Structure 1
Amino acid sequence: MAELDAILEKYTNPDTGSIHGASFVAVDSTGNDIYCKSFGYKNVNVKNSKRLTLDTPSWIASQTKLTTSVAVMQVVEKGLIGLDDDVRDVLPQLKDLKVLIGFEGEGSIAETLATSGDEGPYSSKPVEKPKGPPIFEKIMGKLTLRHLITHTSGFCYDLADPLLIKYSAWTERKDNMFSGTMQGNLHPLIFQPGSSWKYGPGLDWAGTIVAKLTGLDFNEYQQKHIWGPLGAKNTTFFPNREGLEKEDLHETGIRAEGEGTQGLKPGDCLWRLNSRDALGGAGLFSTPNDYKKLLSALISEGGPLLSKASVDEMFRPQIGPESTLGARAFLKGTNLDNTQSNLYTDRYDEWENFQEIGHCLCGIVTTEDVFGRRKKGSINWSGLPNLIWWIDRESGVAATFFTQLLPVGDHAPRRLQIELEAALYKAINGK
């Protein structure tokens, strides 16, 4: 694996590299390690930093979603709920949900989107209060567990959608997607369930449903039914409760200029270390060594977490053509009308050449081989500070890349991830 070492050394070199620290782990279908190493430093200021290790905690952001999908399939296996049951029968706080379609005095939704500007979590532009009150329509049909975990529920992250940004301004909401509370994810839907696709807090609500059905706080549930059986001891929704402070974490680097490490500045983690709620969409702090154990279980057909049938269902494409268009636009960093997305940009540049993609119960499904890399049918998803995982059952490979670097979609970690993947497959295929 000398080529993998060389790639990571190149990118994390404090003088000539572009990332202060990165880890890469890969396992085979029997759960054995293929490659597991960390390179670089825990802190952006490398002169005063310890070396990064495979046990250094990181905020894994949306890589949390895979663990929540596992939890969902566990309660489905136990017969506590079905994937197509209406979740409003489980959570009373969702009973009064409606679909937000616009605001009085502001014309059509298309006009609202076109005039929304660049509001978003990284924007300093103040959000103008809408001219009139919001306009709603009732939910038609069910809002199901399957909708929640495939991002087809109508929920969208409130800082990523112009309508919800304006809704928050109108209602003067104080919580949002980064508040560390479920209240930050309680807001109207923006389309009828099952009719489109938008990235949002569906997995946060799914985790809340698991907690309600089992009578356990979602952090307690994951410790008992996921991380405990895996022997993973360094993963939690509440790092402060475990005695961890921000100095213990892999520090977030912010790309200020250029592409070298000299252009990075230290930044704070976007997620609260003392969140009030265990949020299944983005709230976990974990380590490469712990996350590797989750991937090992899933590439090994689920044991000790799930049956093979449940893993098969998790990895099967689930969404229709209209929803697929929305997912494809998201991966390209755009809205459906090809305007720039406020929250996510340049997310998966290589996907632009694909004719189709799929979405399963835990991530994107490739519909064709990626030359020299993963095979058709592989599953992947990522985390906001430029982490990524994938599971390639045909090749018998699962892997994850950890770093803590913003903004999302920064070109250096994207190139590094692609180089690592190509070198890994070259090594295991012997060519």
Structure 2
Amino acid sequence: MAELDEILARYTHPETGSLHGAAFVAVDRNGKDLYRGAHGRKRIDPASDKLTLDTVTWIASQSKLVTSVSVLQVVEKGLIGLDDDVRKIVPALKDIQVMTGFEDGEGEPGPGVGRPILEDLQGPITLRQLVTHTSGFCYDAWNPLLQKYSKWAGRTVNMFSGTIEGQLHPLIFQPGTSWSYGPSLDWAGKVIEILTGLTFDEYQQQNIWQPLGAPNTTFFPAKRGLTKEDIMETGQRTEAGTLVPGSSPWLFDCRDSLGGAGLYSTANDYGRLLAALVSGGAPLLSAASLDEMCRPQVGAASDADMRRFITSESPVNSKGWLWTTDPEHHWQDFMEVRQCLCGLNNSEDVVNDKGEPIRRRKGTVNWDGLPNLLWFLDRESGVAATFFTQIMPMDDAISRKVCTELEEALYRIVNNKTKA
């Protein structure tokens, strides 16, 4: 494990490193550790406390995997089906419409100016659509049409407001006809709240974190007696490449349990989640539910729209680095990926120029978190891992590079064990 230690130590060195802190946890198909380590500091200040595997960190969209597991649990219990219409369960979604554009004008309220063009839904919004980003929801802070709608409607909340109301606005396409990254998983969490009578935080504590023996994960760290100083600080990468103290876009004191991006967790806790999944699902899911969660789910048109999103060079859309062998982010080198119920599914092995597998294998599912966190679940190789840091902006080139180095070093260990 010395190579993995060396990589983390090099990138977090207080004088020459480019990350203030980073943790990496990898587990095998028996749920046993392949590696578990943290290096660097909790804050940018070189004199601050050391980062540990139990340092609480905002995990952003790594929350989505936990929500997907929760969804499969309530489906297993017979409380709902993946293809049931959630509008019959969630009153706020009953009359939601699709916005296709604006009439002529600037979009400001008042006589003679443009108004949003809205149409009724032509079918249901299903639970499956919510967890595959095919529901029609899109994050408002990144969508010009929704930003225009918010200005026109006088909305004072958005995706970072910490409330479910901030995730409520028109859809941007008919459910099931396209793909867009947005707050669908927040609404999946709301479905679970209504079905179970628990807040989503209470549901996860009882059905995920307590069974795993993972005590430090919550939507509400302040209710656990933590302050902002207890949370891993956000580092802001400057144009010159240096790191300065930054600020998290997420509210520390959110009102609602938002399953798309709201969790605070630790590398240790998240590693326990991945250990359960890579070893077959227990005690969280049956093997059949795990299979369902990881298989491709959507049609060709939706997958094509998803691939356009992740291969865009826009800084808010460039998710594709997760699925290329090239750490320099050459756009033409992305492999084909498919949307599943918890992330994206690789269509092929990641190989070197000799065709030898050097990273994740075909069928691996994975996703990331806004401040450059990462998780993947490779059931073929029997390995799962997560990388924890807190760097903005997203898709930080240095964070991409360290993730690639860690993954290649990990797979040298995995492949050597396989040969042995």
Pair 1:181-2:181 in alignment: no
Q: Which residue of 2 aligns with 1:61?
A: 60
Query: Alignment partner of 1:348: what SS?
Result: helix
Match for 2:397 among 411, 420, 429?
411
Query: Alignment partner of 2:169: what SS?
Result: coil
CA distance in 2, matches of 1:152, 1:186: 16
**Against the structure 1 CA distance between its residues 33 and 266, is the aligned structure 2 distance closer, same or farther, given a 3 Å change threshold?**
same
CA distance in 1, matches of 2:249, 2:323: 27
What are the within-5 Å matches in structure 2 for residues 6-405 of structure 1?
6-46=6-46, 48-105=47-104, 129=108, 131-259=113-241, 263-334=242-313, 340=314, 343-345=316-318, 347-348=320-321, 350-351=323-324, 352=331, 353-371=333-351, 372-405=358-391
Shift in Å at residue 16 of structure 1?
1.4
CA distance in 2, matches of 1:356, 1:195: 20
CA distance in 2, matches of 1:414, 1:172: 38
Unaligned runs of 5+ in 2: 325-330, 352-357
* RMSD, aligned α-carbons: 1.5
Is this contact kept in 2: 1:151–1:197, CA < 8 A?
Answer: yes
1:345-395 deviations in Å (ceiling 9; x for gaps):
465275442452101000010000011000000000010000000000000
Query: Alignment partner of 2:142: what SS?
Result: coil
Query: Alignment partner of 2:194: what SS?
Result: helix
Identity of paired residues, percent? Answer: 58
Q: Which residue of 2 aligns with 1:115?
A: none
CA distance in 2, matches of 1:297, 1:195: 33
Shift in Å at residue 186 of structure 1?
0.5
Deviates more, 1:13-22 or 1:402-411: 13-22
2:162 counterpart letter in structure 1: G
Deviates more, 1:134-143 or 1:386-395: 134-143
1:310-332 deviations in Å (ceiling 9; x for gaps):
00000010011111122112212
Is this contact kept in 2: 1:236–1:284, CA < 8 A?
Answer: yes
Is this contact kept in 2: 1:344–1:409, CA < 8 A?
Answer: no
Q: Which residue of 2 aligns with 1:123?
A: none
Unaligned runs of 5+ in 1: 107-126, 335-339
Is this contact kept in 2: 1:152–1:196, CA < 8 A?
Answer: yes
TM, length-normalised to structure 2: 0.93
Is this contact kept in 1: 2:311–2:320, CA < 8 A?
Answer: yes
CA distance in 2, matches of 1:136, 1:175: 20
1:205-250 deviations in Å (ceiling 9; x for gaps):
0000001000001000000000010011000000110111110011
Shift in Å at residue 13 of structure 1?
1.1
2:231 counterpart letter in structure 1: L
Shift in Å at residue 32 of structure 1?
0.3
1:306 counterpart letter in structure 2: L
Is this contact kept in 1: 2:134–2:177, CA < 8 A?
Answer: yes
1:247-273 deviations in Å (ceiling 9; x for gaps):
0011100012333xxx11112222112
1:423 counterpart letter in structure 2: A
**Against the structure 1 CA distance between its residues 293 and 355, is the aligned structure 2 distance closer, same or farther, given a 3 Å change threshold?**
closer
TM, length-normalised to structure 1: 0.91
CA distance in 1, matches of 2:303, 2:74: 27
CA distance in 1, matches of 2:373, 2:256: 23
Is this contact kept in 2: 1:23–1:37, CA < 8 A?
Answer: yes
**Against the structure 1 CA distance between its residues 329 and 271, is the aligned structure 2 distance closer, same or farther, given a 3 Å change threshold?**
same
**Against the structure 1 CA distance between its residues 249 and 21, is the aligned structure 2 distance closer, same or farther, given a 3 Å change threshold?**
same
Q: Which residue of 2 aligns with 1:427?
A: 413
CA distance in 2, matches of 1:397, 1:258: 36
Is this contact kept in 2: 1:347–1:409, CA < 8 A?
Answer: no
**Against the structure 1 CA distance between its residues 349 and 393, is the aligned structure 2 distance closer, same or farther, given a 3 Å change threshold?**
closer
Is this contact kept in 2: 1:314–1:360, CA < 8 A?
Answer: yes
